[in-house]
Amino acid sequence: MSLPIGVLSLQGDFREHSQTLDSLGLENRNVRTPQELESVSGLIIPGGESTVIHKLAVAYDLYQPIKEKIASGFPVFGTCAGLIMLASEIIDGTSDQASFGGLDVSVRRNAFGNQLDSFEADLDFVGVEGVVHAAFIRAPIVERIGSEVEVLSQLPDGRVVGVRQNNALGISFHPEVTGENRIHALFAKTVRTAH
């Protein structure tokens, strides 16, 4: 049975996510229309600008369909801006910004400052053997965690950078830019289990 994973390809580093899925031999498709959304078994929301992703999702008639699919248990994986798009609350969002939901968390955008404050770190990650080398680029941080949310990864100072709730997975960093594909493999497992 074919279970293609979609990559929301409106803005951000969606190409790198497709390449990461390719490196795992996983079928994947760009998603830019409601029809393409219907053809996939899970969805990755890439890093980029969360405000722009929201506006484009609305403009492409994808916002409501994605929101409804996630609410019904559709597997979704958000990195950086994608994590912001899955949060139930965006602490410092713009007045007109809305998320897709899926994770009962509060997220602060650009929690680490601007592009110049980007950094890399080795982290433990639940479900992944060994350390994960993570790149943080204008990354968000999870500041509040709902009772149903599982913490998957934290910085050495305890700040939360990886969470999961049911079939929704969100991380603050960019595994797709450091050649790290094990978290994508973990998400693929979620997609297979859900179908």
Least confident segment among 30-39, 60-69, 113-122, 170-179: 113-122
Residue 113 confidence (pLDDT): 67
- Summarize the confidence of residues 51-66 as an average pLDDT: 97
Residue 169 confidence (pLDDT): 98
- Summarize the confidence of residues 38-63 as an average pLDDT: 96
Q: What is the mean pLDDT of the chain?
A: 94
Residue 96 confidence (pLDDT): 87
What whole-number distance in Å separates Cα of residue 51 and Cα of residue 72? 24
Residue 28 burial (C-beta neighbours within 10 Å; 0-12, 13-18, 19+): buried
* 39 has pLDDT over 90: yes
Residue 114 confidence (pLDDT): 63
Q: Indicate which residues carry an active-site annotation.
A: 80, 174, 176
What whole-number distance in Å separates Cα of residue 181 and Cα of residue 179? 6
pLDDT > 70 fraction of the chain, expressed in percent and rounded: 97
* 167 has pLDDT over 80: yes
More confident position, 122 or 1: 122
Closest CA to 139 of 122, 164, 115: 115
What whole-number distance in Å separates Cα of residue 100 and Cα of residue 65? 9
**Per-residue pLDDT tens for 108-144?**
987 776 655 688 999 999 999 999 999 998 899 999 9
Q: Which domains does the chain have, with CATH numbers?
A: 5-194 (3.40.50.880)
Give Cα separations from 2 to 9, 73, 77 (angstroms): 21, 19, 19
Confidence of residue 1 (pLDDT cuts 50, 70, 90): low
Q: What angle do CA 179, 23, 99 make, to 5 degrees?
A: 70
* 58 has pLDDT over 60: yes
